[in-house]
Structure 1
Amino acid sequence: MTKGWLRGLVAAVLLAGATFGAVASAAAQDPEPARAAAPVDAGAATEATSGRFGGGSLSIYDEQRPVIDEVSAALEKLRTRVDRYANDDAQLVEARIELERLARQVLAAGVAFRPRLQEINARLEQIGPPPGDGMPAEPEITSTERADLLRRKAEINALIGVAETLSVEINRLIDRIGTLRRDLFTSTLSKRYDIGNALSAATLADLQSEVVALRRTIMAWVRFVTSFKLQSLLLATLMALAAAAVLAFGARRLFGTSMEAVKGASPSYLSRLSVAFWSTLMPSVTLLVFLSATFYLYDTFKILRADIGQMLSSLFQVIAIVFFVNRLARAALGPDRPNWRLVPVDSASARKLYWLAWLTAVVTGADFVLNRVNHVMGSPLSLTIAKSLVATVIVGLLLVLAGLVRPTREDGGPRRFLALNWIFLGLGIGTMTAALLGYIGFARFMSQQIVVTGAIASTMYIGFLSAGAISAEGAFVRTALGEALHARFKLEETALDQLGLVASIATYILVVCVGVPLVLLQWGFQWGDITTWAHRLATNITVGTVSFSLVGIATGIVIFFIGYFITRGFQGWLDGSVMARGKVDVGLRNSIRTAVGYAGIALAALVGISAAGIDLSNLALVAGALSLGIGFGLQNIVSNFVSGLILLAERPFKAGDWIVAGPVTGTVKRISVRATEIETFQRQTVILPNSELINAAVGNWTHKNKLGRIEIKIGIAYGTDPRKVHAMLLDIARSHPMVLKNPEPFVFFANFGESSLDFEIRFFLADITGGLSVQNDIRFAIAEAFEREGIEIPFPQRDVNLKGAHITVSTPLADLATEPEPEPETKAASGVAGADVVALPVAPRRRRRKREDPDDGDENL
């Protein structure tokens, strides 16, 4: 996280620098350019007029004029088409898509003129206005050039005006199409039919005639196929079966364990979600592939007629939807697999809800197919109304029955799902009421949305649950994919958790991108609407006066990551292949690798920003605020950042050096632009801000090389021959294999100490980092040599002399009474004859002051 934060700071600083550079450059320019006509060279002016302005303007004019004429003609055709198909929603959507394409062409044509106009205006400003009265006449070539430029400018402005007019007319026609589609949708749902005529005896007669006509149509197509297209039919069917079989086999090999629910098992919630998802998705996709391939091949081999093709297309759509609803209900409710059930209800309620959901899908699908058949066969309106009335009433009854199911928990807990019960009851009663009142269109719309939109919403809900379960800590590690990644790439659990989070986000995005368009399609929108919205969302989003593109931002992000990985690869190649073979110092390699890394990331960020279409000049205000924040709140961070750049450039120490920075002593492990990592000899990692290493003294034992001097101090007792000890110590130092001969070791007779004669051994090592082991060896050798030669290493000693009066112990006590009082400082007593005099401290009387002898250097007691 620290690295990413620092890289972001690098990009921000570079961004601020670029913005300030642009502002400074703009400020340096003269805001009021001189308008006086400069001397004009005739040849240069002719070349500029005929080539850069005359020829260039004429070229762009000739290029864009046919485009605008073509757009004008296409607009007239589309206006006629909209008037003709005002009641056909699909035709209106196609017309709107074509109009939006024309609008983009007109916009591109207008934008193409801008560079030419800017060149013409710049040249006119250089030439200046015509001379006024009383002023010297200008050269004829200048007047000719000005007139030609003004003519070109007028032609371009006229064509731009035509383009703007076309753009306004296109937008008006698009708005009209939107109004027509809204009115068409409203009239379809709000139109009321007379169901009394639909339930008359004439409707039964129409039904019999419809069945006979349908049978005749189907049998005629069957005879045609068996007589002329039987081989093509068999071949197309086998090819579609083969495609579906390949998909099913591959899905079984890839997701076999995720599609099977083992009876008696106790799966986790994530396992249940996985089985529900894959056991619903893969069989449904396999069936969809078979049906789509069958219809496509039948149409390619000319097996289908127009009427049969429409009916078969509707039938295939209904089969796919009904099968999907069946698989989804089975996966979620698990009527025969209580351990794998996603919804915590009892088994009896699960079975009832499963059958009700499946029957609702079957009835709604049959209504859809029969409606298409009625449309193809040209059935009477009463028959269509009667069929839809029966279907919607049945769907309403099934929903009411679903609302009456009061499921309980498997463990016998309290009743739940009361809100869903009321929703099902409300939808069922509303559907039946709308149908019985004659609002057949609204009732059919409700029944279809309940089945199809409900299935899509349920699938999206399962997808959201799966994404949330995957993002849980440690969940992705236990999945089959997580175990495979761990076995293949030896990833740690933390890395797998991060991948699980990425997979969760990708699942959320996938569910939204797939589910939302499908729901919009069911609610009356067309693919043209969705693609248009997606195009606008991806290419042009305006917030205030700032416009940006999601596609551009995504492109910039991709380019940044490509540059990032290229930088990492180049760093590895430079470090491992170039500098390693060149025997470059490790610290220098680290500095170069770090500098290349930050330079590459900064370059990738700039290229990514440019590819995203972000104008850095528009971020001047943001850069100003950023600079203000840097000046006040981020000054320490910037100080550390600049100090890190100085350390990388000057290299007072490098990775692997042994340094002393205040109380910290250790080995430098890494130098970044914010802080330096130092590992002490206790294996503690200390993070020191770079500014402290720049502003304070830092000792480096291995700056230029690892050569260093070691000092070992030793003391010997007084009375020992110092020259002998000197020679012994010098021999010991010279005999060690790691002690350098040049500079040679040196033994220094340092001092006459209080308790000993002090010596100091000084020697150099080629690698100072191994000094501890060498010191141990030499000290052991000194101890052994002194023991062998009988040389003593003394303890510290100190003599203390107490000065004052002395008292003879043999003096009678009676005589003491007649003797004068002794001095108050001390009283001394002498022992028997021949004994040493011992100074005994005697406490003075409190009324007497302690006498101080200024000439006495000893301690007074």
Structure 2
Amino acid sequence: MRAVLHALAITLFCLLAGWAQAQETRGPNYNIWGNIAERAEAAISDEETPDRRLEELRSELAAFREQFLNAQQTNADRISTLQSQLDALGAPPENGEEAAEITNRRQELNDQLATLRAPVLAAEEAYTRANGLIGEIDNTIRTRQADELFDLGPSPVNPVHWPGAISDITASAGALWIEFADNWTDPDRRAEFRDNLPVVIGLTLLSVLLLARGRGWVERAVNALRKRTRPGTGVWSFLVSILEILVPLLGVYLLVSALSATGLAGERGELILSRLPVWVGILLYIRWLAEQVFRRGDEMKRPVLLDIPRRTEARFYANLLSIMLVLRGVRKTISELDDHVRETVAVLDFPILVICAIALFRLGQILRSAQLAENEASANAGLDGPKFRLALARYLGLLAMAAGVLGPVLAGIGYNRAGEFLVYPAVSTMAIFALLVVLQRFANDLYELFTGRDAATGDSLVPVLSGFVLSLAALPLLALTWGARVADLTELWARFREGFVIGETRISPTDFLTFAVVFAIGYALTRLLQGGLRTSVLPKTKIDVGGQNAIVAGLGYIGVFLAALIAITSAGLDLSSLALVAGALSLGVGFGLQTIVQNFVSGIILLVERPISEGDWIEVGPHMGTVKDISVRSTRIETFDKTDVIVPNADLISGTVTNYTRGNTLGRVIVSVGVAYGTDTRKVEQILTSVARVHPKVMMNPEPFIYFKGFGADALEFEIRAILSDVLEILVVQNEMHHEIARRFAEEGIEIPFAQRDVWLRNPEALRAGDDPAASRPVVAETTDDTPPAEGDARTAGMSDSPADAPDADR
């Protein structure tokens, strides 16, 4: 038995596979297409063709257009092969002198190519025709919609139309009552009612219980959950709050079932009962939405802040809007049954429109008064997200206020469709944005549930991405709300699926997805290989850190390039068709991107030649520090002030760079010191030699050298010149040597002199106060170091200050 089932399953699979293959290989039926195209052209020419019929024809045309688009790829591989063969043969010679075999072969290939291209050309022609017909239908429907929108109808404020409207609505209500009375007097109906009376009573009692108490039960459960402070409590309270819609709606369904079971509802009653759950659902949904957006509490989770009276008022006007929308639905149902005239429809719709406009205007004013919540203002200071949400709420309020004013004015004039177009889509827009706020809060609660962190203070992109996805999902709803047709959205989707053409290559979303997937796989493999080399293979070799980084970086560039090349090939993109784009790109590189390209090439040279490596102490221009990172465009240097300097790689290649630690950390230190004249120079040499040798950082091969530099103006000058094992410690070594030299010189009584300057005044009598005309002669000051004072000027000699006491003496 099992073997028989396996055989049947295999046979069914083969049949399905064969059918699918036959569907793929079978091209479009051009006979059926011709008939549909002719009917579409006739319908477009006939101005009396209803919109519904045009939409049906458009759907059929769109289906054939997709078939024609797919048929354009028929024999694509074979055509590409034949074209390559023709290219290999080359162009025919201009003088006509060519071997007969080559000529015959070229003609044979051209004949095969023409045969294979015939269905492609037919598909292209049919695709063009279908696309044109679809465009004509769309233009026709849009023109009709515009004409209807600006059609001047009867004014609802004209008292002439009021008696007729009152008479029509009274007749409709009377017809409903007469229908019920006739059913009640019918013996068969009454017998059916008596038979179903237990069921009717049971369903009615249950529905009354759910309608009266169900919402209260759910509200108490939601409030109990909201009082909990555990992370993610908002998720469960949100899910439970949905029962505020479902439980009363279940009661309405039970009530409708009970009323239908009585058998007393006629045609009118059954139609109203069938739509009653929808109307009650609108009431419950808008009330729930208003409670979620404008409820009390949760101030810390609100992007904008409203005080409690404002929230209460907002909930009131939201509920008022829901009631008006339901009344509008009831009016449409009654007008559908009794085929009311335009005057009656305008008069009955106008009060509903006015009340909706007033509620909409007040909601707009409430949104315009919204403020940024204190937690958002403090926790997100300097960020644009909360400010953007506040600005969006205020702009939405401005839109609501404008629609609330213009809608009734246009409807009162007689532009009923234009007035409705402004008010009711504005109401739907506010409902959509309110739903986005609720769903965004739910997404944040989910994030808090799974991560334990508050979405408002966390640094994750998940809440931001969820808001972006929700906004994208709301765009089609907003488009449909403001008059777009479903066909418009499907047309955009079809255009998106078709892709765009570059040269002779069509790039579709499938090609792009293939490219993205293959490139992501190649990129991931490259990163894995880099990680394996960096952590497992290269550390076991004798290659230094700079060489390891160069190998890993070079492998990354090669891997990314190969991944991109393989992804382009896998997507079926023809690179030859991008020659024009590549030429324009090269021109842009030559003019605008030459600096970036120069830095990139310099970065490659740095990674290959490795004149500097990470961790080197270098000096480039006015900057000195440690190399922290070498990228393809620039190199990051950390100065000794702990600041980062970004140096373009071109400066490191073309400029002069001093590398203090290239290959090793050996380096020379020079410590200068001066002693007073008359000091034993050999003794000074011995002391400095011992100071240098005892330091642990000083190397003994080569030994430190004491250099008697010369006879200075104020002292005998010496230098300690020694090689350090770690030149990065040069400042520490200099500091320690200075301390040791000062200590040893103090013990040995060796004086470290300081600079002295003698100031001599020529003609000191010029400083005397008096009426002597000679006092007006200029005073000449002269500074000298070794000229002895004149005999008569001895009283002014001896002004001697250290550099600290006379800071201007050296100048």
**Fold-level match, TM-score > 0.5?**
yes
- The code of the aligned residue for 1:358 comes to S
How far 1:363 moved relative to its partner?
1.0
The one of 489, 499, 506 aligned to 1:530? 489
Paired position in structure 1 for 2:72: 110
Paired position in structure 1 for 2:790: 841
Structure 1 401/286 Cα, relative in aligned 2: closer, same or farther at 3 Å?
Answer: closer
How far 1:656 moved relative to its partner?
1.4
| Partners of 1:311 and 1:369 within 8 A in 2 | yes
1:456 aligns with 2:415: no
Q: Tell me how far apart the structure 2 counterparts of residues 349 and 797 of structure 1 sit (CA, whole Å).
A: 87
Paired position in structure 1 for 2:703: 745
The one of 100, 112, 130 aligned to 2:62? 100
1:396 aligns with 2:350: yes
Q: Aligned runs of 1:702-717 on 2, under 5 Å? A: 702-714=661-673
How far 1:457 moved relative to its partner?
1.4
Q: Tell me how far apart the structure 1 counterparts of residues 366 and 111 of structure 2 sit (CA, whole Å).
A: 86
The 3-state SS of whatever aligns with 1:385 is: coil
- Tell me the number of residue pairs that the alignment of Structure 1 and Structure 2 aligns: 668
Write the deviation string for residues 400-419 of structure 1: whole angstroms up to 9, x where unpaired.
345678969899x9xxx999
Paired position in structure 2 for 1:695: 654
Q: Tell me how far apart the structure 2 counterparts of residues 698 and 428 of structure 1 sit (CA, whole Å).
A: 77
Q: Tell me how far apart the structure 2 counterparts of residues 674 and 711 of structure 1 sit (CA, whole Å).
A: 37
Q: Tell me how far apart the structure 2 counterparts of residues 740 and 171 of structure 1 sit (CA, whole Å).
A: 86
Structure 1 249/196 Cα, relative in aligned 2: closer, same or farther at 3 Å?
Answer: closer
Write the deviation string for residues 213-270 of structure 1: whole angstroms up to 9, x where unpaired.
999999989999999xx99xx9xxx9xxxxxx99x99999799999x9xxxxxxxxxx
Paired position in structure 2 for 1:54: none
Paired position in structure 2 for 1:733: 692
How far 1:695 moved relative to its partner?
2.9
How far 1:703 moved relative to its partner?
0.1
Q: Tell me how far apart the structure 2 counterparts of residues 255 and 399 of structure 1 sit (CA, whole Å).
A: 40
| Partners of 1:280 and 1:324 within 8 A in 2 | no
Q: Tell me how far apart the structure 1 counterparts of residues 51 and 190 of structure 2 sit (CA, whole Å).
A: 29
Write the deviation string for residues 106-132 of structure 1: whole angstroms up to 9, x where unpaired.
23223323543454466568779999x
Q: Tell me how far apart the structure 2 counterparts of residues 533 and 285 of structure 1 sit (CA, whole Å).
A: 37
The one of 503, 509, 514 aligned to 2:472? 509
The one of 357, 381, 399 aligned to 2:321? 357
- The code of the aligned residue for 2:725 comes to A
The 3-state SS of whatever aligns with 1:400 is: helix
The one of 606, 615, 634 aligned to 1:656? 615
| Partners of 1:552 and 1:612 within 8 A in 2 | yes
Paired position in structure 2 for 1:385: 340
The 3-state SS of whatever aligns with 1:667 is: strand
Write the deviation string for residues 136-170 of structure 1: whole angstroms up to 9, x where unpaired.
9957x996x77865664564455456545654664
- The code of the aligned residue for 2:427 comes to A
The 3-state SS of whatever aligns with 2:427 is: helix
Q: Tell me how far apart the structure 1 counterparts of residues 427 and 788 of structure 2 sit (CA, whole Å).
A: 110
Percent identity (aligned):
29
Q: Tell me how far apart the structure 2 counterparts of residues 583 and 250 of structure 1 sit (CA, whole Å).
A: 67
Consecutive unaligned residues of structure 2, counting only runs of 5 or more, are 1-20, 155-160, 211-216, 254-260, 262-266, 370-396, 761-786, 794-811
Higher relative contact order structure (alpha carbons within 8 Å, sequence separation ≥ 6): 1
How far 1:704 moved relative to its partner?
0.5
| Partners of 1:706 and 1:767 within 8 A in 2 | yes
Write the deviation string for residues 361-393 of structure 1: whole angstroms up to 9, x where unpaired.
12123345667xx7xxxx6xxx3438x987764
Structure 1 329/761 Cα, relative in aligned 2: closer, same or farther at 3 Å?
Answer: closer
User: Higher Cα Rg: structure 1 or 2?
Assistant: 1
Q: Tell me how far apart the structure 2 counterparts of residues 341 and 664 of structure 1 sit (CA, whole Å).
A: 51
Paired position in structure 1 for 2:386: none
Structure 1 390/686 Cα, relative in aligned 2: closer, same or farther at 3 Å?
Answer: same
Q: Please say which of residues 88-97 and 98-107 is displaced more in the overlay.
A: 88-97
| Partners of 1:717 and 1:793 within 8 A in 2 | yes
Q: Aligned runs of 1:524-603 on 2, under 5 Å? A: 525-526=485-486, 528-540=487-499, 574-580=533-539, 585-592=544-551, 594-595=553-554
The 3-state SS of whatever aligns with 2:327 is: helix
| Partners of 1:393 and 1:432 within 8 A in 2 | no
Structure 1 795/492 Cα, relative in aligned 2: closer, same or farther at 3 Å?
Answer: farther
- TM-score normalized by structure 2? 0.60
Q: Tell me how far apart the structure 2 counterparts of residues 486 and 201 of structure 1 sit (CA, whole Å).
A: 61
1:324 aligns with 2:273: no
| Partners of 1:733 and 1:761 within 8 A in 2 | yes
1:685 aligns with 2:644: yes
1:647 aligns with 2:606: yes
Q: Please say which of residues 640-649 and 165-174 is displaced more in the overlay.
A: 165-174
Q: Aligned runs of 1:60-99 on 2, under 5 Å? A: 67-68=26-27, 70=29, 72-73=31-32, 76=35, 93=55, 95-99=57-61
Structure 1 82/713 Cα, relative in aligned 2: closer, same or farther at 3 Å?
Answer: closer
The 3-state SS of whatever aligns with 2:696 is: coil
The 3-state SS of whatever aligns with 1:706 is: coil
Paired position in structure 2 for 1:37: none
Structure 1 787/102 Cα, relative in aligned 2: closer, same or farther at 3 Å?
Answer: same
Q: Tell me how far apart the structure 1 counterparts of residues 600 and 679 of structure 2 sit (CA, whole Å).
A: 60
- The code of the aligned residue for 2:729 comes to G
The 3-state SS of whatever aligns with 1:112 is: coil
| Partners of 1:750 and 1:759 within 8 A in 2 | yes
- The code of the aligned residue for 1:683 comes to K
- The code of the aligned residue for 1:116 comes to R
- The code of the aligned residue for 1:455 comes to V
| Partners of 2:603 and 2:631 within 8 A in 1 | yes
- TM-score normalized by structure 1? 0.57
- The code of the aligned residue for 1:685 comes to D
Structure 1 798/538 Cα, relative in aligned 2: closer, same or farther at 3 Å?
Answer: same
- The code of the aligned residue for 1:360 comes to M
Structure 1 163/692 Cα, relative in aligned 2: closer, same or farther at 3 Å?
Answer: closer
The one of 739, 742, 750 aligned to 1:792? 750
Structure 1 715/187 Cα, relative in aligned 2: closer, same or farther at 3 Å?
Answer: closer
Q: Tell me how far apart the structure 2 counterparts of residues 218 and 557 of structure 1 sit (CA, whole Å).
A: 70
Paired position in structure 1 for 2:728: 769
Structure 1 313/282 Cα, relative in aligned 2: closer, same or farther at 3 Å?
Answer: farther
- The code of the aligned residue for 1:512 comes to L
| Partners of 2:72 and 2:121 within 8 A in 1 | no
How far 1:347 moved relative to its partner?
8.9
Q: Tell me how far apart the structure 2 counterparts of residues 582 and 608 of structure 1 sit (CA, whole Å).
A: 34
Structure 1 329/151 Cα, relative in aligned 2: closer, same or farther at 3 Å?
Answer: same
Structure 1 117/585 Cα, relative in aligned 2: closer, same or farther at 3 Å?
Answer: closer
The 3-state SS of whatever aligns with 1:107 is: helix
- The code of the aligned residue for 2:426 comes to G
Structure 1 314/284 Cα, relative in aligned 2: closer, same or farther at 3 Å?
Answer: farther
Q: Tell me how far apart the structure 2 counterparts of residues 348 and 487 of structure 1 sit (CA, whole Å).
A: 32
Write the deviation string for residues 648-670 of structure 1: whole angstroms up to 9, x where unpaired.
22221222111233443322223
How far 1:705 moved relative to its partner?
0.7
The 3-state SS of whatever aligns with 2:26 is: helix
Q: Tell me how far apart the structure 1 counterparts of residues 287 and 498 of structure 2 sit (CA, whole Å).
A: 39
Write the deviation string for residues 691-710 of structure 1: whole angstroms up to 9, x where unpaired.
33323332211101112233
Q: Tell me how far apart the structure 1 counterparts of residues 544 and 430 of structure 2 sit (CA, whole Å).
A: 63
How far 1:714 moved relative to its partner?
4.8
